[in-house]
Structure 1
Amino acid sequence: MRVELIKTYKSVHTWTGILAGLFLYIAFVAGALTMFKGPLNQWALQPGTTLPSISIDQYDSLISEVLQAHPEAAKQMTVQLPLAGLQTAPVSWEIEDEETHDHTLWYASFNEKGELITQSFTVSAIGEFVDHLHRTAGIPGGEGHDAFGTYVLGVVAALYFVALISGLIVFLPTWFKDLLVLRKGKNRKRYWLDFHNVLGITSLPFHLIIAFTAFVFAFHDPLYGALRVAVYGDSPMFTRPAPAEVKSFSELVPVTELEAAIQKGEPKFQMAEILYLNLDTRAPRMRVGGIMHGEVVRGAEYGYVLGNPYQREIPYSSFLPSNLNGYSGAVMSFFSLHFGSFGGNAVRWVYFILGIMGALIFLTGNILWIESRRKKRRGQGTLPVQTTSSMVMARLTVGVGLGTILGIAASMLAVKWLPHAQVDIEFWQRAAYYTGFLFALIWAFIRRPMAAARQLLAFCIATIFLIPISSLIKGDLLGAATQVWAVDFVALLIGTSFVLLLVHLRKRQTKIEADSVWSEFVEKPVIESSIQDPLPDTHPQASG
């Protein structure tokens, strides 16, 4: 391959990676943790924010009594069955204030005497908050599909895809020579390049899938909008059932019969939740979510069935594995591959590891960029010198890298200790995250990069180990009471890794070269970077 072409692809890989790296780091760390979204939500529950669970044969009576006592629940009501990931209450619904448009969540269950009890409270849903960070990189503005950060990450995903392809092309000439090679020695640039390549090559298919699907998810609504205008015109994109007569709530298909009807076509389907919509109108709907072990499914946790809650005959659904065709099969595969929702807990742990590896790819890419610039500027004077861009990148790498971890850990502690019934817990979990993140970012710009890294690591270690300590104090260490052992286990795993990293950094403190941005010397003369600065040479063959 021509040298000029290799240099072009190196430039593309470098700058797309630099522009996208820090956003993707946040998305990958949060994405790895969303593999345990259900346990996270359950871990954060408090006695005042749960109602008693009930047996499966009580659900029909509970649904009937809720609709009779609170007919407003017919607009949108969620039923959480025993297999659901979050056991807050068997039934919940939302009421919107017509004047303020504020939403209030209500929950219902039976007490020990079999009497209906209802209560309004706020659940932290820390798992959903971490998922929001994953989809937006923590960029404020908007909610759901309209969140500003979602569109930013869509653009970032496109850059990410370009960086992957260009990086692969750059690596191809030395594929057999450098594949899975990790060379330690005095040449730090070579070491970081090898580490970066090993991480990237071993998880390349995963990253290609994530990059493509993240772009499609981010621009899902605009793409469908353009398709509706350009292709369908006045014709509907989706066929909707004809309006029917308004039914009595007593005619709802019983829960047990509903599952049996679905299992005629999908024997593996284990019902976990039901979402009822518009039960008192001529267009009632339901969405049934179920666990399907080992199957490719549409959702992050469940496969879904859509239908009419008053009809025992379950209609054809392209969301079910048995009904897949070429198009729906491809779409469902993309969803499942992005969410890691196939293969059960084993695949979730694999995706967690791949997510952490992805975050490390972006960190090593930044370090490699810094080391490449240092090598090019060596010998320009007797004093160690740094470019402004190298110092800023080092500080951003430290601040964003550790600030993301510190912020998430602080948010988890906030929802564990603050009384959900007395405070706006959703506000405080956001406030805790941004406080931790911004503190780390500011601290990284106040202190020298390596000093800031060690000090912030100590902050992170203390905060992370408070998570299992909080579980111990609350009486559910490693999920003894709530079966959410994965949360405490991951906290212990990350905390221990950070301890080892801190020990390593202290050992290397005296071995860092004086011309490195990681040096502990006082501030040096700074060479201002400019647009004409040479691009870093990251090709293995050019390394000294």
Structure 2
Amino acid sequence: MKLENYKNYQNIHIWTGILSGLLLYICFVAGAFTMFKAPLNTWALHQEHTLPPIAETQYDTLIKKVLQAHPEASAQLSVYLPNAMPKHAPVQWVIEDEDTHQHTYWQASLDNDGALISRSTSLSEIGDFLDHLHRTAGIPGGDEHDAVGIYVMGIVCVLYFVAIVSGLVIFLPTWVKDLFALRKNKKGKRFWVDFHNILGISALPFHIIIAVTTFVFAYHDILYGGLQTAVYQDKPMFNRPAPIEADRGIENLLSISVLEDKITATEPDFKLTELNFSGLGTPRARLIMGGELVGEIIRGPYYAYWVTDPYTASAGYTAMLPSVSGIPGKVVNSFFTLHFGGFGGSFIHWIYFAMGLSGCLLFLSGNIIWIESRRKKMSTSQAVKQPVSVRVLSRLTVGVCAGTFIGIGLSVIAAKQASYSQNDIQFYQHLAYYVGFIFAVVYSFCVTPIRAAIHSLYLLVLLALGCIAISCVYWQTSLSHTIDVGVSIVATCLAVLFAICARRLVKKQPHIPYDGVWQ
């Protein structure tokens, strides 16, 4: 490759990486933890704020009693069968305030005599908050579907993809020599370049998948609109079946056993787990049935879905089912399952968790390489004045990277505590994240980056230990001791990792030049 072309690709890789790296770092950290969204939601719950489970044969009775006592639940009603997660209540629905858009959660069950128990409650859904953080990088604005952060991350992922391609181009000429090489005895920058290359090449397919699928998710409405205009024109892109004439009273809802027979006739291995009703009592009533299909290309991170009419179980929308989705449906489903890691069960979730954290290190190392490349070396004759861009990015890198973990740690602890006291959980878990994140960023500008990094790492050790401590404090009220143990093991591993990194920086600190970049 000509030197000029090499430098052009190198500049493209550098600037697309710098412009997108820190936002991608936030999304990858949150995305790694989002792989365990459902277990985290369960971990944050307490027995005092759950309702008793019921037998599967009682669900039809419970649904009808809820709709009779709470007609507002017909707008959107979720039913969780015994094998679902979380296990806070068999039935749940949400009421949204039209003025404030605040959500009030209601849940229902049956007592030992078969009488209805229903109450409003506060749910943390910390896993869902981390998922929102993963999709928006914490950028405020917009609602859940049209969040500003989603559109921003769509643009960021275009830069991300360009950085991947350009990085691969500049790596290929020396790939034989540099593949998996980690030269510690060379200059510090050489080590970080090798480390960056190893992280990028070893997870190259994963990064391509994430970049492409994120762009599709961010702009799918625009993409569909373009297809409608250019290809389908006056014809509908999706053929929705006309509503079937039927008596849509509560008593005419199909039983769960009938619905289960209907879906297993199409997908024999489908294990029904949850049902989400909407628009009950109207011609547009809809039911989304979620269930496990191990080893298949499915739409969600945990479940495959089938959309039907809850009164007739008509064919409905089957594109989400692997066996009847056809080629277009399989292509769309593959975007979801590859992004969510919805294939291969828990093993793939752990692989994606590790890939997410390795992606964080990829973006961190990229920033360090940029800073080290532009840092002016100290001279014995005169003081060195570093470029503003280098000084700002070194502080932002430390602040954002540490702040993301600090914010998530505080948010997780706040969700567990607020769930027990039934305070405004959503408010406190959001507040905890943004306070932790902003504090870390501001602190990195108040002291030298190396001191900010060391202090932040020790704080992260305390937060990881705090997650273990709060799991122990509320052990008796926990819904799942298995999940408590899992959270404690992960927190212990992170605490050890943060402590090792802090000790390494403390030992390295005396050897770092006082040149205005790191200290």
Name the TM-score, length of structure 2 as normaliser.
0.95
Letter of the 2:64 partner, please give it: S
1:289 alignment partner AA: G
Could you tell me how far apart the structure 1 residues matched to 2:394 and 2:53 are? 51
| Residue 37 to residue 99, structure 1, CA distance change in 2 (3 Å) | closer
Q: What's the counterpart of residue 338 of structure 2?
A: 337
- 1:93-142 CA distances to partner (integer Å, 9 max, x unpaired)? 22345666654321110123321100011211000000000000001112
1:95 matched residue in structure 2: 95
Secondary structure (helix, strand or coil) at the match of 2:122 reads: coil
Residue 423 of structure 2 aligns to which amino acid in structure 1?
V
1:64, distance to aligned residue in structure 2 (A): 1.4
Unaligned runs of 5+ in 1: 520-544
Query: Does residue 362 in structure 1 map to residue 363 in structure 2?
Result: yes
Matched, 1:9 2:9: yes
For residues 279-428 of structure 1, the aligned pairs below 5 Å read 279-312=280-313, 314-315=315-316, 317-374=318-375, 377=377, 382-419=382-419, 422-428=422-428
Q: Do the aligned partners of 1:336 and 1:342 also contact (CA within 8 Å) in 2?
A: yes
Range that drifts further, 461-470 or 380-389: 380-389
- The amino acid of 1:169's aligned partner reads V
| Native 8 Å contact 2:92 2:108 kept in 1 | yes
Aligned amino acid, residue 289 of structure 2:
V
| Distance in 2 (alpha carbons) for counterparts of 1:235 and 1:473 | 60
Match of 1:152 in 2: 152
Select between 463-472 and 249-258 the one with higher mean Cα deviation: 249-258
Change (3 A) 1:316 1:15: closer
How does the TM-score come out when normalised to structure 1? Answer: 0.91
Q: Is the 8 A contact 2:275 2:289 kept in 1?
A: yes
**5+ residue gaps in structure 2?**
none
Structure 2 CA distance, aligned partners of 1:86 and 1:479?
Answer: 9
Distance (whole Å) between structure 2 residues aligned to residue 118 and residue 455 of structure 1 = 47
- Secondary structure of the structure 1 residue equivalent to 2:481: coil
Cα distance change of structure 1 residues 316 and 478 upon mapping to structure 2, 3 Å threshold: closer
Match of 1:184 in 2: 184
Distance 2:61 2:257 in 1: 12
Q: Distance between the aligned counterparts of 1:239 and 1:484, measured in 2?
A: 46
Does the CA contact (< 8 Å) of 2:45 and 2:478 recur in 1?
Answer: no
- Alignment partner, residue 83 of structure 1: 83
Deviates more, 1:46-55 or 1:185-194: 46-55
Partner Cα distance (1:65, 1:477) in 2: 29
Moved more, 231-240 or 171-180: 231-240
Q: Is the 8 A contact 1:39 1:486 kept in 2?
A: no
Counterpart AA for 1:359: C
Letter in 2 for 1:277: S
SS of 1:386's equivalent in the other structure is coil
Residue in structure 2 matched with residue 532 of structure 1 by the alignment: none
Write the letter of the residue equivalent to 1:372: S
Q: How big is the shift at 1:480?
A: 5.6
Given residue 360 of structure 1, which amino acid in structure 2 is its aligned partner?
Answer: L
- Contact 2:254–2:312 (CA under 8 A) maintained in structure 1: yes
Q: Does structure 2 conserve the Cα–Cα contact (< 8 Å) formed by 1:90 and 1:108? A: yes
Q: Cα gap change, 1:369/1:99 in structure 2, threshold over 3 Å: closer, same or farther?
A: closer
Output the amino acid matched with 1:259: E
Partner residue in 2 for 1:252: 253
Aligned to 1:536: none
Aligned equivalent of 2:209: 209
Structure 2 residue 24 is matched with structure 1 residue 24: yes
In the superposition, relative to structure 1, how do residues 372 and 495 fare at CA in structure 2: closer, same or farther (>3 Å)? same
Q: Which residue of 2 aligns with 1:528?
A: none
Verify: 1:497 aligned to 2:497, yes or no: yes
| Residues 43, 480 of structure 2: 8 Å contact kept | no
How far, CA to CA, are the matches of 1:478 and 1:499 in structure 2? 28
Gap change, CA 1:503 and 1:479, over 3 Å in 2? farther
Determine the C-alpha separation between the residues in 2 that align with 1:478 and 1:167: 47
The percent of aligned pairs where both chains have the same amino acid is: 49
**Relative to 1, partners in 2 of residues 1:480 and 1:308: Cα closer, same or farther, differing over 3 Å?**
closer
How far apart in 1 are the matches of 2:413 and 2:33? 15
Residue 477 to residue 305, structure 1, CA distance change in 2 (3 Å): same
Q: Deviations over 1:385-442 (max 9, x none)?
A: 4222111111111100000000000011111112566421101110000000000000
* Structure 2 match to 1:468: 468
Match of 1:436 in 2: 436
Tell me the distance in 2 between the aligned counterparts of 1:138 and 1:102.
Answer: 19
CA contact (8 A) 2:471 2:484 kept: no
Structure 2 residue matching 1:21: 3-state secondary structure = helix
Does the 8 A contact of 1:40 with 1:126 survive in 2?
yes
Query: Aligned letter for 2:359?
Result: G
Contact 2:24 2:137 in 1 (8 A): yes
Supply the distance in 1 between the matched residues of 2:439 and 2:346 (Cα, whole angstroms): 35
- Alpha-carbon shift at residue 379 of structure 1 (Å): 5.5
In 2, Cα distance between equivalents of 1:98 and 1:456:
41
Which amino acid is the alignment partner of residue 472 of structure 1? C
Residue 478 of structure 1, CA deviation: 10
Give the distance between the partners of 2:64 and 2:130, measured in 1 at CA. Answer: 35
Matches within 5 A, 1:163-242: 163-242=163-242
Structure-2 change in CA distance of 1:316 and 1:30 (3 Å):
closer
> In structure 2, what is the Cα distance between the partners aligned to 1:421 and 1:478?
14
Kindly state the Cα deviation for residue 377 of structure 1 after the two structures are TM-superposed.
4.9
Judging changes above 3 Å, is the alpha-carbon distance between structure 1 residues 316 and 444 closer, same or farther for their aligned structure 2 residues? closer
2:99 & 2:21 partners in 1: Cα distance?
Answer: 43
Q: Which amino acid is the alignment partner of residue 348 of structure 1?
A: H
State whether structure 2 residue 132 is matched by structure 1 residue 126.
no
What RMSD over aligned residues (CA atoms) do the two structures have, in Å?
2.0
Tell me, what secondary structure is at the counterpart of 1:145? coil
